[in-house]
A and B are shown apart, each in its own frame.
Chain A
Amino acid sequence: MTGETTHATRGNHVVPPERAEQGFRTIGEITTDNPVVVCRGVNVHYGDKHAIRDVSLDIAHNEVIAMIGPSGCGKSTFLRCINRLNDTIPTARVSGSIALDGRDIYDKQQDVVQLRARVGMVFQKPNPFPKTVYENVAYGPRIHGLAADRTELDEIVQTSLLRAGLWEEVKDRLESPGTALSGGQQQRLCIARTIAVSPEVILMDEPCSALDPIATARIEDLIDELRRNYAICIVTHSMQQAARVSQRTAYFHLGDLIEVGSTDQIFTNPRHKLTEDYITGRFG
């Protein structure tokens, strides 16, 4: 709970009183015992558009937290705040505080390159670099100088591919282009690439939406295994997937974090009307 002291004051007014009156208030426990990332009162504006409003949420070690909600609800935007990828959008403005291991990542002292080495990201569409399989995985360690020599680099590449469950399939064609793999393999390559720099948090933005059910199942198994070492934050449109892979679920609606809770509770006993409508398929 290192970060809590500095953010405690903000934590008190998670929802402004006028919005609380309208019923916008995060229901459920936003804090956890063992947080890696602590978000308090995060707001994102794209120009005039208020994309996320006062979102506060903890992301814990060794846990998969799923973000669900209808399209345009701000879950991807929230995810992209955690590795400051929103910085690349000129009109985006982020306020509030997000702390990684107790240090505000939007602090001027925080180096964004270092942050992204600690918070990895897997994207919706598999996007391996147009380089060889080996180079794809070796890229991160190389730019961050994680390997002292070639043998060490080889080792990192192999371990990463092993943990991404891809080693057996590609060990004979490490020198073939990463873009020549199948969609599911490409996505696992992207995961291997991400874990090659040993991040603390892995953000996944609908990692299976471009994949077939079999490839999806493999990725989901992988996510479950990766949980042992990383905190994983996954955005998904599939409620079944959220139910299968996550321990906690956060429901977003039009920029508001409506409800957070254990996945079991959210899917069996949602407390907010909007959550219930969404998971029972009344809209979304």
Chain B
Amino acid sequence: MSEQSASGALKPGQKNRQRVEAGLRRRYRAEARFRAYGIAAVALGLSFVAMLFVSIVSTGWTIFRQAYVLLEISYDADTFDPEGTGDPEVIGSGDFSAPIKASMRELFPDVEARAERRMLYGLVSDGAQFELRKRLMAGPEAVGSRETLWVLADDRVDQLLKGKIGRDQPADLRGLSDEEVAWIDRLEQAGQLELRFNRSFFTQGDSREPEQAGIWGALVGSALTLLVTLVLSFPIGVAAAVYLEEFAAKNRLTDFIEVNINNLAAVPSIVFGLLGLAVFIQLFGLPRSAPLVGGLVLTLMTLPTIIIASRAALKGVPPSIREAALGMGASQVQMVMHHVLPLAMPGMLTGAIIGMARALGESAPLLMIGMVAFIVDVPGALTDPSTALPVQVYLWADSPERAFLERTSGAILVLLAFLLVMNLAAVILRQKFERRW
């Protein structure tokens, strides 16, 4: 700009500049304020997440270790196979608590009163005899021999060792008498009682006894349920979305369907549970408490989410790609299959994973179809009775024993880990499919 025109336009220009400057500080203040709100919101969210993790991890991390007692077990031939038949049925019907009791008596020869002895035996978990039975059935030739073995201790012993039961608490609050505490101390000093890796938690199903209760049954139940959900909801959801978005005529009927799908996404999940109970169990006669039915119910719940996300992903594919394909003479199906679907796949996978994550955390609909039952066995098939991780959390949280508090947090940790693995798989899959245009 030349000098002349600059000086000629000075006055109005300066006036405007002053006005802008006057408003500038206000604008920056508003901006700073807005940023502060944002940071505060993020900080608040993060602090709650941190609190959640701290509280769960701090109560739950001890679940990886469990108190075990080292016992000298003798498989007396008199007890297990008096006639020397070697018949597993005879061996299996023996009294497996006897060698444990005998071993405890050996360790504490000074305990003689019956009531005291019963207390002493109580330090070892009931589960120990089942463990012995399993070992002997696996190798019947061990009858007549001796072995030293780490067996599960009672949950109260475990809690005391972990410091979850205070030694200075009164005996009735503690759940352990002074004698029991003294025995535990003696065992610990002798190196015959220690915290070892908690294998049974990760390999067993539920139990009334906290020390025997494991998460594996619920984990398998959840995995089977989600497998059914994924196998059904992803293909059905994607197919529905593709049809509605790419092929269906845009008219009142499709509008009506769209509104209904959106509404279904907002239906409380327990309603789907009721529907599953009425339709799958009552009408179709499918078994109760089965992962198959759970998966079907969660499919109904997840479908709207997947359909909505998939439609959004399809809408996001640039029209230029569609035109390019159509312009080349691709048919509608070829256009969708060769170009649109691959480009929409990452978005669809995101939708699916959001739906699956919700399904994993869902307990209400599963309560309605009986997956809340107390189930000890690990399910081996889709129709076996089973429970699921969130339901297991709910069941344990409801149990009075102190050791179940630790299990509850432990189960939540497993649930979160499961979620993490699932999300990780989704991220990897998505990166595989991700393409730029």
Q: Which residues of A contact B (CB under 8 A)?
A: 83, 85, 88, 90, 113-117, 120-121, 123, 125, 127-130, 139-140, 143-144, 177, 179, 190, 193-194, 197
Contact A116 B327 (CB under 8 A): yes
Number of interface residues of B (CB under 8 A): 23
Contact B327 A129 (CB under 8 A): no
Interface of B is mostly: helix
Per-residue 0/1 for B304-335: is the Cβ within 8 Å of any A Cβ (1 yes, 0 no)?
00000000000000101111111111110010
Q: Which residues of B contact A (CB under 8 A)?
A: 249-250, 318, 320-331, 334, 338-339, 342-343, 435-437
For B437, list chain A residues within 8 Å (CB).
130, 179
Contact B328 A123 (CB under 8 A): no
A-B contact pairs, 9 of them (CB 8 A): A85-B323, A88-B323, A113-B329, A127-B318, A129-B325, A130-B321, A130-B343, A143-B334, A143-B338
Q: A129-B339, A130-B343, A130-B436 are in contact. Are A143 and B320 (CB under 8 A)?
A: no
Contact B321 A116 (CB under 8 A): no
Contact B331 A123 (CB under 8 A): no
Q: How far does the Cβ of B313 sit from chain A's closest Cβ, in whole Å?
A: 15
Contact B321 A129 (CB under 8 A): yes
Other than the given A139-B328, A190-B324, 14 more pairs (CB < 8 A) read A83-B327, A88-B323, A114-B329, A116-B329, A117-B328, A121-B327, A123-B327, A127-B321, A129-B339, A130-B321, A139-B330, A139-B338, A143-B329, A197-B329
Interface of A is mostly: helix
For A114, list chain B residues within 8 Å (CB).
329
Q: A179-B436, A179-B437 are in contact. Are A127 and B328 (CB under 8 A)?
A: no
Q: How far does the Cβ of A238 sit from chain B's closest Cβ, in whole Å?
A: 21
Contact B250 A90 (CB under 8 A): yes
Q: What residue in chain A is nearest B437 (Cβ atoms)?
A: A130
Contact A129 B324 (CB under 8 A): yes
Nearest 6 pairs of A and B residues by beta carbon: A116-B329, A127-B320, A117-B329, A121-B327, A130-B437, A127-B324
Q: Which of A88, A115, A127, A144 has the most CB of B within 10 A?
A: A127
Q: A123-B320, A125-B320, A143-B334 are in contact. Are A88 and B326 (CB under 8 A)?
A: yes
For A177, list chain B residues within 8 Å (CB).
436
Contact of A85 among B321, B326, B338 (CB under 8 A): B326
Q: How far does the Cβ of B332 sit from chain A's closest Cβ, in whole Å?
A: 9
For B329, list chain A residues within 8 Å (CB).
113-117, 140, 143-144, 197
Contact A143 B330 (CB under 8 A): yes
